[in-house]
Amino acid sequence: MDNKTRCSWVNLNEELYIKYHDEEWGVPKHKDQELFEMLVLESFQAGLSWITILKKRENFKKAFDYFDVLKVANYTEEKINILSSNKGIIRHKGKINATINNAKIFIKIQKEFGSFDKYIWGFTNNEVIKSEYKTESDLSKKISNDLKKRGMKFVGPTIIYSYLESIGIINNHEKNCFRLNL
């Protein structure tokens, strides 16, 4: 183990947590496929611990066609049944159906704005917000409300706040964390 100081929430006994914290969390993401992946994972995380999602992340990638939004948007009832019986993911039928629904809306947003990246980063004029240390904010409420108006599900302000952290729009690395100003 290295001597780096990390955010206090990082379980230093979980290599997945350390890797996620060190390499992904709070790092700005701009590829629509990555933005969709994190939206799906954050939605599935609702009510569960993030480590549960991290441990199942590879299974999610395979089950959801590596987060190819066009494929996910066209899932059939047969595919929903396959996902609902896949022990490698969270088998919550409401979240599975929401993911398919959200994929369709994600595509509509891409068409309207040119990319989902332009849409989501447009809320902050492409600026990273540093160190709020909250579970939701005016920004997450605004985005949540907009996504809900567009028809997305499982995108409440707390989920969206976590999403914004995961894609780097909000950088909540703690003051003593080595990642804060990287």
pLDDT-derived band at 126 (thresholds 50, 70, 90) equals: very high
Higher-confidence residue of 3 and 93: namely 93
Closest CA to 107 of 166, 19, 39: 39
pLDDT at position 168 is 95
| pLDDT at residue 156 greater than cutoff 80 | yes
Q: Using one digit for the tens of pLDDT, what is the confidence trace for 62-103? A: 999 999 999 999 999 999 999 999 999 999 999 999 999 999
pLDDT at position 88 is 97
pLDDT at position 169 is 97
Name the residue ranges covered by the structural domains of the chain: 26-171
CA distance 28 to 35: 10
| pLDDT at residue 133 greater than cutoff 80 | no
CATH number of 26-171: 1.10.340.30
Least confident of 109-123, 126-140, 153-167: 126-140
pLDDT-derived band at 179 (thresholds 50, 70, 90) equals: confident
Two structure tokens written together for 66: 């590596």
Catalytic center residues: 20, 42, 50
**How much is the mean pLDDT over the chain?**
95
| pLDDT at residue 107 greater than cutoff 70 | yes
Q: Using one digit for the tens of pLDDT, what is the confidence trace for 38-68? A: 999 999 998 899 999 999 999 999 999 999 9
pLDDT at position 1 is 60
Cβ contacts of 87 within 8 Å, gap of 6 or more: none
| pLDDT at residue 182 greater than cutoff 70 | no
28-33 average pLDDT score: 98
- Report the share of the chain in percent with pLDDT over 90: 89
